[in-house]
Chains A and B, each alone.
Chain A
Amino acid sequence: MKGFVFDIQKFALHDGPGIRTTVFLKGCELRCQWCCNPESQLQPPQLAFDVKKCTHCFECIESCRYGALKKAENKLSVDFEKCTGCGDCVSHCAPGALKIFGYETDAHSVIKEVAKDKAYFGNSGGGITLSGGDPVFQPEFAFDLLQVAKENGIHTCIETSGHCKPEIIAKLATVTDLFLFDFKHYKNADHVKFTGVPNDILLANLDFLCRNNHKVILRCPIIPGVNDSLEHFKAIAELSKKYDSIQMVEVMPFHDWGFHKYELLGMKRPDIDSSTIPKETAAKWRDGLKKLGCTKIKI
């Protein structure tokens, strides 16, 4: 089974327990307004153009069969509408201003790469984490990856919005040791507003996982003006109390470290206040959650 991956990151320390290798799958149904991985949203490979690296030598223009590269006012201009992401131009650019995000691969090649770090996983209680995008966007590929990982004796984690058909979650659960389950907004209407999809499906999936004793870490991105409300924190606390299966709650303060990528990809930068959240604010959120009865907060 083949699928699209855009990165494999080793020695990941923040995507589940121990030393992990995180495999980033391309494609996601949600469009969270604070998304930090814009290159992960679409499934097919995508061109990124870094104008800062471009010397406007125009060496690349000829190489594009689709007429996506043009000279305009003595500068290189990229027509992302025309670009198919074929990647032909990349090797023609010496300064490295052109780059492709994403490539097609198969589960065995990916796990072969991941398994090189098995000894590190063993000594640290780590393993593989599928992230994205959203792994449930390529459900068969994700299942294959996790199954092959399990066959290789590797601990498996999946980071997901949980927004998918229940049978997908049920199938993935058979090969997943731990879910890193996102919880973005308690209110359905606002969930739709900020992410483009409702929250009822994912909450049902969360309920399914927890009732069947699958281990879950609840990951809660907190974005000022979006979900830093008392009601949302209350909802987080309630979920953590309701389900024994939830091992831990992670408060993930918003950051904009990936926002420069929108421009590279020819996408619109999110319209959101992108000032970095001070440590104290994050600590206050965690404190507040604790006061609301949530006892499983990750520091």
Chain B
Amino acid sequence: MSLSTAPAPVSGADRIAMVRARALAIRRSAFTMVHDAGLGHPGGDFSAADILATLYFGVMRYDTKEPRHPDRDRFIMSKGHCTGAFYSVLAQAGFFPEADLKTYMKPLSKLNGHPNRNYLPGIETNTGPLGHGLPVAVGIAIAGKLSAKDYRTFVLTGDGELQEGSNWEAAMAASHHKLNRLTVIVDRNRLQQGADPASRDKPLCVIANTIKGKGVSFMEDNVSWHHGVPNAEQFAQAMKELI
């Protein structure tokens, strides 16, 4: 059985356009979920959307039919509060039906406010408390080395999240173990609340300079949208801008 990014990568410019369209769809979907649930973290959903679209539709290898395939690339959403974007990308990639997004945070829903691997396919570890993703990713990458597998491990952390000391303990371990198949992406939206992997003998950290609330004029760079919920008017305005 073969692992592939879904859909199969196309050539340069088309690929970028496709990823952009996906990112937009993630934002629209996430904002709808937050609006309907009356709860969520749209600011960080929006800054993460391009990163998630790039990983799931341009970089990572996975099989939605066999989500725990031993050779899959792993992604850990360490900024686990941004489930609006994370669930949206998983659904778009085909891990579960997009219709399920409507149950976001509803009683007994599998779409909890923070991701739960025992509820949904495509989730590697339960996150929500900040600073848990990188240590787990280091373990996954060490396991890959031990069993001579070539899967890659990606972690997305918030920039505020880096204040947790566990990240730095994990960073030292990643470097010590020369985890060249591990990539940390920091969603550097400045608010809290590409190298060639073959030539590296160290883990890689990509600092993604992002904008919290990206794509909607009144949300960009505005910390009140960390966990802001739109009213009807704001929702309509945002949907107009997200096209």
Decide whether A and B assemble into one complex: no
B interface, CB within 8 angstroms of A: none
A interface, CB within 8 angstroms of B: none
